[in-house]
Amino acid sequence: MFYTYLWLREDGTPYYVGKGKGDRGFTSREHRLNCPPKERIIINYWPDEATAFAYEMYLIDFYGRKDLSTGCLRNLTNGGENPPSWKGKKRSKEQIEKLSKIRKEFRFTQEVKDKMSETRKGKPWTSARYAAVAKLSKESRLRMSAAHKDQKPYWTGKKMPFKPWSLERHARYEEKRRKNEEIPSKEESTSAMSASQS
User: For 61-73, what is the mean pLDDT?
Assistant: 90
Length of the chain: 198
> Based on the number of CB atoms within 10 Å of its own CB, is 23 exposed (0-12), middle (13-18) or buried (19 or more)?
exposed
Q: Looking at the predicted structure, is the pLDDT value of residue 93 above 70?
A: yes
Q: Where are the domains of the chain?
A: 2-63
Could you report the per-residue pLDDT of 117-159, keeping only the tens digit for each?
Answer: 777 777 676 777 677 777 777 787 787 777 767 665 544 555 5
User: For 163-171, what is the mean pLDDT?
Assistant: 73
Longest dimension (CA), the chain: 87
Q: Report helix, strand and coil shares of the chain as percent, to nearest 5.
A: 45, 10, 45
Could you report the per-residue pLDDT of 2-28, keeping only the tens digit for each?
Answer: 999 999 999 999 999 999 988 889 998
> What is the pLDDT of the chain when averaged over all its residues?
77
- What are the phi and psi torsion angles at 141 (to 5°)? -65, -40
Which helix H or strand E contains 170, and what residues bound it?
Answer: helix 167-181
pLDDT at 18: 92
The residue type at 43: I
The residue type at 156: T
Q: Which residues have a Cβ under 8 Å from the Cβ of 119 and sit 6 or more positions away?
A: none
Is the distance from CB of 33 to CB of 72 less than 8 angstroms?
Answer: no
Q: The dihedral of CA 178, 181, 182, 186: what is its sign?
A: negative
| pTM over cut 0.85 | no
pLDDT at 106: 73
